[in-house]
């Protein structure tokens, strides 16, 4: 465990930034999917109300 931690500390900060960017990208995708999902639901509701 400590040896892995030491190995991580010896690495340049590059992997951390990559992980952070991947995480933020996933969050962005998730929020976009949720937004489009709610938009589709609202449009369905509008269509039902129009009928």
**Sequential pLDDT tens for the chain (51 residues):** 566 666 556 666 667 788 888 889 999 999 988 888 887 777 776 767 766
The Cα–Cα gap between 33 and 51 comes to 27
Question: What's the predicted TM-score (pTM) here?
Answer: 0.43
**28 in any annotated domain:** yes
Distance of alpha carbon 5 from the chain centroid: 26
- Examine residue 5 and state whether it is found in any structural domain, yes or no: no
- Give the span between the Cα atoms of 18 and 25, in whole angstroms: 10
**For the chain, what is the domain count?**
1
Of the candidates 14, 28, 10, 29, the residue with the CA atom closest to the CA atom of residue 2: 10
Q: What is the pLDDT of residue 33?
A: 87
Instruction: Identify whether 8 is part of a domain.
Output: no
Which domain range does residue 20 map to?
13-50
């Amino acid at each position: 465990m400590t040896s892995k931690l030491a190995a991580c500390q010896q690495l340049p900060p590059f992997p951390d930034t990559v992980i952070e960017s991947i995480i933020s990208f996933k969050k962005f995708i998730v929020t976009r999917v949720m937004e489009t999902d709610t938009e589709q639901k609202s449009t369905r509701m509008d269509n039902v109300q129009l009928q």
